Structure 1
Amino acid sequence: MKFQLHHTDTKTSARAGTVTTDHGEIPTPIFMPVGTIGTVKGVHQQELKEQVKAKIILGNTYHLYLRPGMETMEAAGGLHKFMNWDGPILTDSGGYQVFSLAHRRKITEEGATFASHIDGSRHLFSPESSLGIQRSIGADIVMAFDECPPYPSDRKYAENSMHLTHRWLERCVQFMKDSASKYGHSQALFPIVQGSSYDDLRTKSCEFIASQDQPGNAIGGLSVGEPIEDMYRISQLCCDILPKEKPRYLMGVGTPANIIECISRGVDMFDCVLPSRNGRHGVLYTRDGIINIKNARWRNDFSLIDARPDGAPTSQAHTKAYLHHLFRVNELLGPQIATLHNLAFYLALVREARERIMLGDFGVWKAGVLAGVVRKL
């Protein structure tokens, strides 16, 4: 994997670059749709390419490990072939899912033992086994196994957790050196910065992560309930320390406003379930604000729902009245259209941000867009 930085905005820390993988180029800043179990829920792969214009998607190690399992995954030739997606894929480590099962897991130096949410069977994820699974999945970018502390965490817990994440990272780095990809393409390891909401711990973690000299770096442990000001402060702090010549990935963030704000602080890559999950429940993100399409006010609104921040409709655009009707009658097409709209909007938003960074007027553009996307319509 390679990263080329093309331009940095002079008045903010926003960056435009390109990540190059064996499965294609990823222009940054970029949003990555989440495909938890081998699919971006309700969206066909052709739609991801042609309408959403996704450049990279995510797979989930925990869920793919449980179903369909690595025997099937390897027999298929990896996730790219299994789901018929020839673009880049990033897999998380499974750590966030394991640690969210607080009543079902136990953390030790070796790793995390957990009970499956499906049948209660017991499993161990260690740094080595997590990356072994990610090798079998065949992702282009794989994440180090870490502990994501809850918010709030007291300082002692956050510090111990951070050091455990660092020790696990050293094992991850060694495993990557000692093992090879199963399908003939390269895989890049991204370490994850932790430290909860404590600036000095975040600083130490950034310095340690940077010292490991991996192809890219991630910022974890945010969007877990902390105040929005903490998210922005910590993102800025981390981007000021992490190497400029490597991509920075802010995990699990967020709303359109979150993404624009964090782009301005130097983040290059984002993922979040919000546009697809909320889309399935009738929440649409637009340049003019946030729409709950189930509300009666949209019943006779025949204006188009468009997926372009500049207002230009796509060939797949539908009216608000039509989508309101689909949700009202529980037609499956409703959540599908809403999901496609939201994902296409997110991808168009980061494309426009990139264009504005390259043109040198990102700051002016940001102020104008933020005023719209935060409104509730």
Structure 2
Amino acid sequence: MEFELIATDAETGARAGLLHTDHGTIETPIFMPVGTVGSVKAVMQEQLKETVKGQIILGNTYHLYLRPGTEILEKAGGLHKFNGWDRPILTDSGGYQVFSLSGNRKLKEEGALFQSHIDGSRHLFTPESVMDIQRSIGADIVMAFDECTPYPCEYGYARKSMELTHRWLTRCVKRFGETEPKYGHNQSLFPIVQGSTYKDLRRESAEFISQIEADGNAIGGLSVGEPEQDMYEMCELVCGILPKQKPRYLMGVGTPWNILEGIGLGVDMFDCVMPTRNGRNGMLFTSEGVVNIKNKRWADDFSPIDAGLEDGPSTVYTKAYLRHLFAANEILGLQLASLQNLSFYLHLVKEARKHIIAGDFASWRRGMLETVKRRN
């Protein structure tokens, strides 16, 4: 994998780049739709390509390990062949899921012992096994196994957790180097910066991760309940330390305004379940701001769902029709809302890239921040 830096905004830390993988080149900054179990909810692969203009999707090691399991994935020839997505894929190592299963897991030096949320069966994730599972999944970009700390988090625990993550990373790097890709394409390992919201820990972690000289680096443990300003401060600090010539991935973030702020701080890659999850609940992110399509005010609004997009169903179907679908509990409503939100997110990062290259990103972002936060 190679990262090519194309342009940097003079006023902010925003960057435009090209991330070259064996399954295609990704234009950054980029948003990655989340396909946790190999499927972006309510959206077909063809729609991800043609309507959403998706370039890379995300899968999850924990969920794919539990089902369909590595045996099925290997028989299929990897996740790309299993789900029919022939573009790049990134897999989260499962560290966040281990975090979310805090009531059903036990952490120790060896790894994380947890109970399946499906049937209660017990499993052990180690840095070595997580690397092996991601080799079986076959993602282009794989994540190191880490512990994601909660918020708030006491300083002592945050340091202990960060140091454990670093020791696990050393083992991940070793195991990754001892094994080979299984499906004829290269894979890249990204370490994850941790340290909660403590500046000294984030600085120490970013410096440790930088020494690994990986193909790219991730920032984890944010968007877990901390104030947005704290998240931005941690991102700015970390992006000032991580290598400029490598892509930076802010995990699990976030709202359109979070993404705009993150791009301005020097982040290149984002993912979040929010576009599809909120869409299925009737919340739309649009070129006119945030829309609750369930509100009665849209019952006789026959304007397009989002006239600000270039094409796709959001320019064809009306707000009134989409509201009707939600009121009638029709599945098509969930699909159209998911397509709208994903399309807008990909449109947003595409526009950001265009303005970074043009040299007017900072002024464009100021206006867009007002727009995307507007409640309609």
- TM bucket by the smaller chain? over 0.9
Residue deviations 1:161-180, cap 9 Å, x none?
00000000000000111000
Q: Deviations over 1:250-281 (max 9, x none)?
A: 00000000000110000000000000100011
Confirm whether residue 194 of structure 1 aligns to residue 191 of structure 2.
no
Does the 8 Å CA contact 2:305/2:314 hold for their aligned counterparts?
A: no
Q: Aligned partner of 2:339: which letter?
A: L
- Report deviation, 1:27: 0.4
**Residue of structure 1 in register with 2:355 after alignment:** 356
Q: Secondary structure at the match of 1:91?
A: strand
Does the CA-based 8 Å contact 2:7-2:357 persist in structure 1? yes
Q: 1:94 to 1:307 in 2, by over 3 A?
A: farther
What residue number does 2:323 align with?
324
Q: How does 1:79-118 map to 2 (within 5 A)?
A: 79-118=79-118
Contact 2:307/2:314, CA 8 A, preserved across alignment: no
Indicate how the Cα distance of structure 1 residues 149 and 358 shifts in structure 2: closer, same or farther if over 3 A, else same.
same
- 1:259 counterpart SS class: helix
Q: Residue 365 in 1 paired to residue 364 in 2?
A: yes
- Provide the rounded CA distance (Å) in 2 between the counterparts of 1:242 and 1:189: 15
Cα gap change, 1:143 to 1:295, in 2 (>3 Å): same
Tell me what 2:36 maps to: 36
1:223 aligns with 2:254: no
1:138-149 equivalences in 2 (<5 Å): 138-149=138-149
Match of 1:243, SS?
Answer: coil
Spell out, residue by residue over 1:171-214, the C-alpha distance to the aligned partner (whole angstroms, 9 max, x if none).
00001110001101100000000000000000000000000010
Q: Who is 2:48 aligned against?
A: 48
Listed one character per residue, the Cα deviations across residues 74-127 of structure 1 (whole Å, up to 9, x for unaligned) are 000000000001000000001110121011000000000000001000000010
Tell me the residue number matched to 1:374: 373
Q: Please give the per-residue CA displacement for 1:133-182, whole angstroms capped at 9, x wherever unaligned.
A: 10000000000000001101100000000000000000000011100011
Q: C-alpha distance in 2, partners of 1:160/1:60?
A: 25
Q: Which residue of 1 aligns with 2:297?
A: 297
Q: Which amino acid aligns with 2:340?
A: H
Letter in 2 for 1:124: L
TM alignment of 1:69-80, pairs within 5 A: 69-80=69-80
1:346 aligns with 2:352: no
- 1:220–1:250 CA contact under 8 A, matched in 2: yes
Corresponding position of 2:259: 259
CA distance, structure 1, for counterparts of residue 283 and residue 134 of structure 2: 33
Secondary structure of 1:305's partner?
Answer: coil
Q: CA deviation at 1:312?
A: 4.0
Offset of 1:288 from its aligned partner?
Answer: 1.6
CA distance in 2, matches of 1:277, 1:101: 20
Q: TM-score, normalised by structure 1?
A: 0.98
CA distance in 2, matches of 1:261, 1:342: 18
Gaps of 5+ in 1: none
Deviation at 1:316? 5.2
Partner of 2:4: 4
Aligned twin of 1:247: 247
**Secondary structure of 2:270's aligned partner:** strand
Deviation at 1:314, TM superposition (A): 3.5
Q: Quote the Cα distance in structure 2 between the aligned partners of 1:316 and 1:235.
A: 33
Q: What SS class does the counterpart of residue 152 from structure 2 fall into?
A: coil
Relative distance call for 1:315 and 1:334 in structure 2 (3 A) is closer
For residues 250 and 304 of structure 1, the distance between their equivalents in structure 2, rounded to whole angstroms, comes to 32
Cα deviation, residue 38, structure 1: 1.0
TM-superposition CA deviations, 1:293-317 (whole Å, max 9, x none): 0110100000101274xx5453553
Q: Does 1:66 align with 2:66?
A: yes
Output the CA distance in 1 between the equivalents of 2:372 and 2:313.
23
Q: Does the Cα contact within 8 Å between 1:307 and 1:342 map onto a contact in 2? A: no
Mapped to 2, the partners of 1:274 and 1:99 lie a distance apart of: 19
Distance 2:150 2:86 in 1: 35
- Number of the residue aligned with 2:159: 159
Which runs of at least 4 in structure 1 moved beyond 3 Å after TM superposition? 311-316
Give the CA deviation at 1:287: 2.0
Report the Cα distance in structure 2 between the residues aligned to 1:37 and 1:161, rounded to whole angstroms.
Answer: 27
Which residue in 1 is equivalent to 2:172? 172
Q: Distance in 1 between matches of 2:307 and 2:265?
A: 25
Task: Say if 1:312 and 1:301 are closer, same or farther in 2 by CA, change over 3 A.
Answer: same
User: Which amino acid is 1:314 matched to?
Assistant: G
1:226-245 per-position Cα deviation (integer Å, ceiling 9, x unaligned): 00100111011010000000
Distance 1:174 1:38 in 2: 27
Task: Give, in whole Å, the separation in 2 of the partners of 1:125 and 1:312.
Answer: 44
When the two chains are superposed, the root-mean-square deviation of aligned CA atoms in Å is: 0.9
Identical pairs, percent:
65
- Could you tell me which runs of 5 or more consecutive residues in structure 2 were left unpaired when the two chains were aligned: none
Query: Quick one: distance in 1 between partners of 2:95 and 2:366?
Result: 36
